[in-house]
Amino acid sequence: MKYYRIIGFAVASALSIGGFAMLTSANEIELNRDFNIQTLSGDASVLNGVGLEATIKTGQSSFETVLLTNGEVIFKDTKYDMYRYVGEDVLENREVYREMYYPAVVENDEYLMAAEIVSGFPYATDKPIVQLNILDKNNGEVVKYESLIDVTTAEYIYYEDLHEFNGEYYYATISQNMRGNQSKLLVYVINPKTGEFNKHYEMEGSSIYELKMVNGNLVTKQYTDQEGDKLIVLNLKTMEIKEVNVSEEAGIEYIGQFYTSNDELYIETNDMLYPVDLENVQFLPHIGGRPEALMAEDCWGWITDFLVQDDNVYMLYDVSGDTIASYQLLQVCDKTTGEIIYQGKLVQRGDQGVVDGFQLVEVK
């Protein structure tokens, strides 16, 4: 399964690569190719096997990707659309993404799928149509389908997700009524040969938020005044539901953001990340903690992306403040012990030409 992430940092303790590229063409610009990360603590060898990739603008209409690893940097020509903020993956599959804004996407060796509720619902159109575009990689054909889902004009959709598990394809969405006090979760099974949507599951309740499908499970959360936050895990194959009331978990006050990577789920709460055992539906001991750099009163930050590789968990923060220049902070934790084993700081400069931030990728 292929996943996409937007993340941002570059690499090594004092790793400084390149210098200034003096470009002479009238359509080119003077570009600073010096990318580095300052190690604040720990050993940068934990970045072995991890690459940092971003798109940089090198001329009026020319772009390159820059890939940083723990030891070298690679620049490569690429395509990028500054108007739509999309890169080569999208531009080389225009028919899959055409007329879509923020589609849910899933990709494997057989298919590339993108799905999205049509724009304008429920105001410009009264039909809750999901546009599903499928690229069959066996023959290169893109087929487009439209399916009505069980949502009324008194509701609006605010979460969508696509997932593949053991050859089954799932589309899930959460809608909410206009008063914001009633939610509905819908799950459909998709036939990739016909584009047909078959309703698989439906749940209604107050305040259902967040939606991730990971490793054959649908994970969401529900809030009630009586019980507070509740974590709900639906096994997509067996339809078994398991729940955890956060009020019963020591040290966990609420359920924040969901983060997934390599079939693992982590939940942020109280500035901590908690791994979730999806089989037994329980919170495991937290990892890491709020970076010390974010403890200052005039400084704030948030996780912008996340990656699990082997025994390490990589978290990237955007950091801002009233009296400091914005920068990015990388924190790496040992998944087993929860210990913070590395922190690094990246300051991006305007003359580096970065247009879409760095992406954390696994490097073989």
Alpha-carbon gap, residue 9 to 53, rounded angstroms? 9
Bridge partners (DSSP) listed for residue 156 = 176
26 has pLDDT over 50: no
The alpha carbon of residue 116 and the mean position of all alpha carbons in its chain are separated, in whole angstroms, by: 16
Tell me the domain boundaries of the chain.
1-78+299-364
Please provide the DSSP assignment of 342-357 as one string.
EEEEE---GGG-BSS-
Task: Please state, rounded to an integer, the average pLDDT across all residues of the chain.
Answer: 86
What does the pLDDT average to over 52-75? 88
pTM of the entire predicted model: 0.85
d(CA 357, CA 353): 10
With a pLDDT cut of 90, the percent of the chain lying above it is 53
Residues of 82-99 as b/e, b for ≥16 C-beta within 10 angstroms?
Answer: eeeeebbbbeebeebbee
Query: What single string gives the DSSP state of each residue in 231-298?
Result: EEEEETTT--EEEEEGGGSTT------EEEETTEEEEEETTEEEEEETTTTEEPPPBS-S-GGG-STT
pLDDT of 1 over the 80 cut: no
For 190-247, write each residue's pLDDT tens digit: 999 999 999 999 999 888 988 999 999 999 999 888 888 999 999 999 999 999 888 7
> pLDDT at residue 299 above 90?
no
Encoded tokens for 27: 């359509």
* Prior bond of 122 cis (ω within 30°): yes
Structure token pair of residue 32: 């600073």
Query: What is the pLDDT averaged over residues 70-81?
Result: 89
Provide mean pLDDT across the span 122-128: 89
